[in-house]
Amino acid sequence: MDPRHLERIVTTLLPPVRSLSSDSVSTHLRILRWCGFCRLSGGARSSVLGSLHALYRGFTLALTSLYLLQECVYSYQVRQDMDKLARVMFLLLCHITSIAKQVVFHIKAERIDEMLDGLDDPLYNQSVDAYGRLLHITAARASRFVRAYSSCAVVTCTLWITFPVMYRLQGQLVEFPFWINADYNGPKMFTLVLAYSYYVTTLVGIANTTMDAFMATVLNQCKTQLRILRMNFECLPQRAVDITRTCPELSYDATLKQLFKECLVHYEKITKTAQMLQDIFGTAILIQFGIGGWILCMAAYKIVSLNVLSIEFASMTLFISCILTELFLYCYYGNEVTDESERVTQSLYSMEWRRAQLSFRRSLVLVMERAKRPLRPAAGLVIPLSLDTFVKVLTFHTKSHTCTLYDSPI
């Protein structure tokens, strides 16, 4: 029988479901497009709306860059005052990591679209009930998480904006942590500067957390696909038997080889997705890890001088939680991808291969040798994304916080 005809029959018997893999990042893309950090999808880009959105993206990048420049000027002006410097530095560093990721979404938009198109592949959206439920759970959890995570950023920024208002109502002098070459003591100018600060910080907070959740969700999708691949490998002979019972004209060995070939193609696509994610965002993630520890140290210096029952302490605690969550997301899902990838060899060996032809068993040995090199996501090919890395970051932050506490005059 013609192998192409056999492939069509197998594909017909195993139709794909709707693209649940793409659904897992749909909420993230909607938020990022609303924030002006990610371009519209293919057809919409050529419309008038697409042109307007491109202008909006350029405006957003210019605005966030201007705000970062204002923070840099302010930090230089208050470099002798450690309290004021600490106040601006952890926000400034956060904005650096955010702009690094924002620039990636601009200059590598084509690669990102290519990666997203890969999630629509039929092999990523198989119709078996167990797989469909697994994909649906992955998509639902990803959507709920990004909403909760970005909402936490909004709450943090909202708490920050209450401090200038409270100081203003108490008649105290208000100083914003960025350079403004204007007198904002008047009510109109104060309201304008306050709104500008709130808009930019909230926009960056929402977009930054969503970009982190987006990358983590792609890693989680790789983990889910590896789990589906393992399940397919383990039941491969039984699937071949079921298909040959449905279509008696098909031979068992030919069907088994065709299903095995589809699994290998699926494995290659998962590897490609993980590699593309690393190629696109590897440098940005490395910057996140490099600056993340510095941000935590600056935040720790600031938090030890605050009243535990104050709103500022609560906002700083939320901020530190967001930063730790950012790093944990990469490490957790990177670790999950590595863990699932390491189990592929076990799943290959677990299938009922003893009755298969010698040529199939030889192919199986070769694939098992390949599977001994698991996927290991890394930040810029330098920092492995694993729970061990997160523990080291957490240990370093704890030591820094302890030293800061002992050095504090309080």
* Residues 137-183 pLDDT 10s: 999 999 999 999 999 889 888 888 888 888 888 888 888 989 998 88
Q: Is the dihedral of CA 158, 162, 163, 168 positive or negative?
A: positive
The span from the CA of 350 to the CA of 396, in Å, is 41
Query: Vertex 269, ends 268 and 275: CA angle to 5°?
Result: 90
* 317 — pLDDT class (breaks 50, 70, 90): confident
- Per the prediction, the chain carries an average pLDDT of 85
Judged against a pLDDT cut of 60, whether residue 15 lies above it is answered with no
Q: What is the arithmetic mean of pLDDT over 179-208?
A: 92
Asked if 212 and 281 touch (Cβ cutoff 8 Å), the reply is: no
Judged against a pLDDT cut of 60, whether residue 28 lies above it is answered with yes
Asked if 28 and 213 touch (Cβ cutoff 8 Å), the reply is: yes
Asked if 339 and 219 touch (Cβ cutoff 8 Å), the reply is: no
Beta pairing partners, 379: 383
* 400 — pLDDT class (breaks 50, 70, 90): low
**Percent of the chain, pLDDT > 70?**
91
120 Cβ contact list (under 8 Å, min separation 6) = 19, 21, 22
Sequence length of the chain is 410
pLDDT in tens, 87-117: 788 788 889 999 999 999 999 999 999 999 9
Question: Token pair for residue 167?
Answer: 């100081």
pLDDT in tens, 80-89: 887 788 778 8
Please name which of 161, 37, 52 lies closest in space to residue 105, comparing C-alpha atoms: 37
Q: What is the dihedral of CA 74, 402, 163, 161, to 10 degrees?
A: 70
Residue 370: exposure state from Cβ atoms within 10 A (0-12, 13-18, ≥19): middle
Please name which of 342, 361, 359, 341 lies closest in space to residue 351, comparing C-alpha atoms: 361
Q: Which domain holds residue 322?
A: 3-407
Question: Token pair for residue 122?
Answer: 């039929």
The span from the CA of 116 to the CA of 121, in Å, is 10
- In this predicted model, which residue has the larger pLDDT, 12 or 289? 289
pTM here is 0.88
The span from the CA of 25 to the CA of 140, in Å, is 10
Judged against a pLDDT cut of 90, whether residue 126 lies above it is answered with no
What total of structural domains would you count in the chain?
1
Q: What is the pLDDT of residue 396?
A: 65
Judged against a pLDDT cut of 70, whether residue 14 lies above it is answered with no
* 79 — pLDDT class (breaks 50, 70, 90): confident
The span from the CA of 215 to the CA of 207, in Å, is 12
Please name which of 147, 160, 295, 150 lies closest in space to residue 209, comparing C-alpha atoms: 150
393 Cβ contact list (under 8 Å, min separation 6) = 289, 292, 293, 327, 331
The span from the CA of 147 to the CA of 167, in Å, is 31
Concatenating the DSSP letter of every residue in 313-330 gives HHHHHHHHHHHHHHHHHH
Question: Token pair for residue 121?
Answer: 């592949």
pLDDT in tens, 141-153: 999 999 999 998 8
Concatenating the DSSP letter of every residue in 24-41 gives HHHHHHHHHHHHTSSPPP
Beta pairing partners, 16: 126
* 309 — pLDDT class (breaks 50, 70, 90): confident
The span from the CA of 66 to the CA of 91, in Å, is 14
What is the bridge-based pairing of β-strands 383-384 and 378-379? antiparallel
Query: Three-state DSSP class for 13?
Result: helix
Judged against a pLDDT cut of 50, whether residue 13 lies above it is answered with no
Judged against a pLDDT cut of 90, whether residue 56 lies above it is answered with yes
Judged against a pLDDT cut of 80, whether residue 399 lies above it is answered with no
Q: What is the pLDDT of residue 353?
A: 82
Judged against a pLDDT cut of 90, whether residue 222 lies above it is answered with yes
* 408 — pLDDT class (breaks 50, 70, 90): very low
Q: What is the pLDDT of residue 314?
A: 76
Q: Is the dihedral of CA 26, 29, 35, 36 positive or negative?
A: negative
* Range with the poorest average pLDDT among 52-61, 90-99, 243-252, 316-325: 316-325
* 404 — pLDDT class (breaks 50, 70, 90): very low
What is the per-residue burial (b if ≥16 Cβ within 10 Å, else e) of 73-89? ebbeebeeeeebbbbbb
